[in-house]
A and B are shown apart, each in its own frame.
Chain A
Amino acid sequence: MLTFPPPPETTSAIETLRREVRDFLAVELKDRKPMDRARTWTGFDADFSRKMGERGWIAMTWPKRYGGHERSALERYVVMEEMLAAGAPVAAHWISDRQSGPLLLKVGTEAQREAILPKIARGECFFAIGMSEPDSGSDLAATRTRATPVEGGFRVNGTKVWTTEAHQCHYMILFCRTGTQEDRKGGTSQFLVDLKTPGITIRPILDVAGEHHFNEIVLEDVFLPQSALVGKLGDGWDQVMGELAFERSGPERFLSSFVLLTELIRELGPDASDEAKAVIGRLTGHLMTLRYLSRSVAGLLQKGENPALHAAVVKDLGALYEQAMPDVVRQLVGIEPSLTSGNDLSEVLGYITLTAPSFSLRGGTREILRGIIARGLGLR
């Protein structure tokens, strides 16, 4: 049986940090409308990220010599959850803080760390994830983008898709093939790619809301120096799997739609019906439970464990919770989802309705996660 140990105890220092973050957000987000708050970790705002960097709220757990702040995983967790609950636009630095930076910290070369990590910590350096391809989605090991050894480095050809915000990012961690197609997992590696490198073309892929977050990245004879290799040649698969616990367990997996819940409560007002109260209470109880589990995983990460299975469970539960929310709202208040109605709740509902399907796709589909859980149960 999978056990979730009690999360690390909160301390007065942590609660002081929480108040500092709330005070900061009260000023910074004063005029931010609910519709914009609904785009929190999909809200790209380089200025906001830089301000967070100034306050030491990026790279919080990293060593000071790389620009980090040597704070605990729980302190980092508090900053993340406060940002998401308030609907702060954290997309710009989110991926570099959550997984690209930690990857470099773990397996990158000293030169890579020194060049990149302090810039991430300042909120000035943003990363995209180059994993999926047109023919390699859930089946990540089917990757066909290939880095071929050449004099002084590698030549890369292939196409990456769904690379979120790549058009506004500085770097991409590229997952691609360096061995044979038959050696599905062992024949893969990761590279640090400057997105301004000649041969890279970035094209938008608009999402169902008509917004530009996704991109297609075509790599044509892109030269990467030997120094761009991240970790060991052939270790790509294992390194990616190590990143996933960070990617899957965080509070963004159940707080993406939090603004919809608060706007629902605002709309219902103090005279909500008993039925509405029951709905709000149920959602609150689920939220409290998810937060407990997610903080428990933060504690495991702090101890240096790789709670990949725990993370898969949290992400699956979080997606179920969030995807049910639009339906709950529309049945309670009889309001139409719309991106242009001028009504806060209707607009947030419209936005979440359009983005909710992606909650059980991004970061590993529901079916893949449940396959991982089934393996953990001893069924595969």
Chain B
Amino acid sequence: MSESDEIVLDSTRRLFDDLFPRDEASRRDETAWPAQAWASVEELGLPLALLSEDQGGFGLSAETLAGIMALAGEAALPLPLAETMIATRLLGVSGIEAPQGPLSIAPAPSGGRIQATREGAGLRLSGVLPRVPWGAQAAGIVLVADTAEGPCLALLRPADYRVSAGKNLAGEPRDDVALDGAIDGAFVRPGDCAARDLKALGAAFRAMAMAGSIGRVLAMSVAYANERVQFGRPIGKFQAIQQNLAIVAGQAAASAGAAAIAAEAVSGRGGRLAMAAAKLRTGEAAGIVASIAHQVHGAIGCTHEHSLHIHTRRLWSWRDEFGNEAEWSRELGEHVVGLGADGLWPFVTSL
């Protein structure tokens, strides 16, 4: 990792620690939009991090990208950092100026929920984009819609849609966004390319954040096992607890490995299928880790008062966002089955 990357990671860590102290009780009931925190994150330049240096970004290495997203996961960052980073990069590549402020993304929803037709250089849209992260707070939403002429990337501005608020299991805003109108050609770019693969990018970023969250849950569980005394000794001294926490450590390592694969894919190596692998692996780990962490914490971990749920509720949400394990497994499996038995190993070693 380069020196400048280390500086980025250090300042990110310090900022997140300042803004969102670990497991502070107030975080249990987060509802309001933390505008000041978002301003600080913007000030550090993180939303632009994926852009190249001549575009005003950091030209991040894959390792540092994974590091930033892991920190966001550890901090249970209540901000659309991943979404804004992805949207900013797509807009940058498409030559559309990004609006100031937080942004969100909406992959083309399945099942014809959005009707999209080309209108000159522009696009006419109707339908509802379901569960858009921070849809109400976003200064713009990047959408990839399917039209008869092929996929189109569009920047939606708040005047283009109506939002009805919703949230995920962790209380993070997941808003339905209703569309009914025309988008000017200045904000529309037709064409298909892997870099616009919003759903896979969303999955890759959730995988990275889950790895960070899992690391935090492991640390909390180890600390609790060393503190909590039963039968005259800390419960962490019992082999049954040790063996379970070793399982969590294994899943944490696998998640970190999968997150690194995701980060490399975002940086151009491996593409959608590598992102698929990362999401299915971290999603599986998330379930195992949340379950054992709650078992180790006992009844107190099931209370609103304890902060474990700040992380476990996110894990239970994120594993289903941008495609769950089954969906990504099917897609990766479809590719492998298509390659045939003797194509598997060359595929695995090409990544």
Contacts and interface: CB of A to CB of B under 8 A. Distances in A.
A and B found bound together: yes
Interface of A: 1-4, 6, 18, 81, 85-86, 258, 261-263, 265-266, 268-270, 272, 274, 276-282, 284-293, 296, 310, 313-314, 316-317, 320, 367, 369-371, 373-374, 376-380
B215 A270 contact: no
Interface of B: 62-63, 215, 218-219, 222, 225-226, 236-237, 239, 241-243, 245-247, 249-250, 252-254, 256-258, 260-261, 274, 276-278, 280-281, 284, 325-326, 328-338, 340-342, 344-345, 347-349, 351
Contacts of B256: 3-4
Nearest to B67: A3
A15 B334 CA distance: 26
Contacts of B242: 370-371, 374, 379-380
B239 A85 contact: no
Contact of B245 (A3, A258, A280, A377): A377
Given A280-B337, A285-B280, 19 more contacts: A1-B218, A2-B253, A6-B62, A272-B337, A277-B333, A280-B332, A281-B336, A284-B333, A284-B336, A284-B344, A284-B348, A285-B276, A286-B281, A288-B277, A317-B254, A370-B242, A371-B246, A376-B249, A377-B246
Contact of B334 (A1, A263, A277): A277
Contact of B253 (A6, A261, A277, A313): A313
Contacts, number: 166
B247 A292 contact: no
Q: Is the interface of B mostly helix, strand, loop or mixed?
A: helix
Contact of B277 (A284, A376, A378, A380): A284
A377 B261 contact: no
Given A277-B333, A292-B257, A262 B250 contact: no
B333 A374 contact: no
Contacts of B347: 284
A2 B326 CA distance: 28
B261 A277 contact: no
Nearest to B338: A270
B286 to A, nearest CB: 14
Contacts of B326: 278
Given A1-B252, A4-B256, A370 B246 contact: yes
Given A281-B329, A316-B250, A374-B242, A266 B340 contact: yes
Q: Is the interface of A mostly helix, strand, loop or mixed?
A: helix
B262 to A, nearest CB: 10
Contact of A2 (B225, B249, B337, B345): B249
Given A1-B219, A270-B340, A285 B349 contact: no
Given A266-B341, A281-B280, A288-B351, A379 B331 contact: no
B325 A282 contact: yes
Contact of A293 (B254, B276, B341): B254
B338 A18 contact: no
Nearest to B221: A377
B244 to A, nearest CB: 9
Nearest to A2: B253
A108 to B, nearest CB: 33
Nearest to B235: A379
Contacts of B332: 280-282, 284-285
Contacts of B328: 281, 285
A278 B329 contact: yes
24 contacts: A1-B219, A2-B253, A6-B260, A85-B345, A262-B342, A268-B337, A270-B338, A277-B337, A278-B326, A281-B329, A281-B332, A282-B280, A282-B325, A284-B333, A285-B276, A285-B277, A289-B281, A292-B261, A293-B253, A317-B250, A317-B254, A377-B245, A378-B226, A379-B237
Contact of B257 (A269, A289, A370, A374): A289
A317 B288 CA distance: 13
